Homo-oligomer: A and B are copies of this chain.
Amino acid sequence: MARKELSPELLAGIADRFKALAEPARLQLLQRLRAGDATVSALVERTGLTQANVSKHLQLLLSLGFVARRKEGLYAFYRLADDDVFRLCDLMCGRMDRELKARQRILASR
């Protein structure tokens, strides 16, 4: 084990990837994609975000490999590239759960 120092480049890469998941709008898009592929316009309808905004977020997620794209005529179908996103979000949700429970324990004990 004993992993030594991570290079600044690697740290920056990791940070960039966390940053991609650090926006509610992008998390919402990823969540919508959990149900299956969707076109940009479908995601626009389902999220209430504007078309330009959705497109921009998807580009970022695509560039970092969180989603994949398939073109069909005029349409662009986006899908989740893998299920890392869920593993990552599940870890974060677990943290929040424990946090909440700890807070409740403190409140209960006074």
* Secondary structure of the A contact surface, majority rule: helix
A57 at the A/B interface (Cβ < 8 Å)? Answer: no
A44 at the A/B interface (Cβ < 8 Å)? Answer: no
Distance A95 CA – B96 CA, assembled complex (angstroms): 24
Distance A34 CA – B2 CA, assembled complex (angstroms): 9
Copies of this chain held together in the complex = 2
Q: Using a Cβ–Cβ cut-off of 8 Å, how many residues does chain A contribute to the interface with B?
A: 36
Query: Is there an interface contact between A91 and B99, defined as CB atoms closer than 8 Å?
Result: no
B-contact bits for A1-29, CB 8 A (1 contact / 0 none): 00101101011111111110111100110
The contact of A87 among B22, B91, B98, by CB within 8 Å, is B91
A2 CB → nearest B CB, Å: 9
